[in-house]
Structure 1
């Protein structure tokens, strides 16, 4: 259960992170495993922001 709480905190921090900084960190990371994690965090944060924009009432589909 404690790990779930830590994951929620981590994801909340990622949602607030600067997208450009996340992408830069992934771009310059030499360790391939870390690079994949950073890219996944970037994608997660981007998805959350896009979902928020799409759900706004003024968004036209």
Structure 2
């Protein structure tokens, strides 16, 4: 997946190693932007579709 701010690649292996759960905020390892990812099940894009968004606080 790509960070929407810096557009650097964030690997799913890094997400799993850091034990980051869907819908919980985490920092991009490249630019320290607060991000969150969601998994949509059964969408038009397939069985699972992951999206990454910037967290606004």
TM (norm. structure 2) is 0.28
The structure carrying a bigger helix percent of its residues is 1
Larger radius of gyration: 1
TM (norm. structure 1) is 0.27
The structure carrying a bigger strand percent of its residues is 2
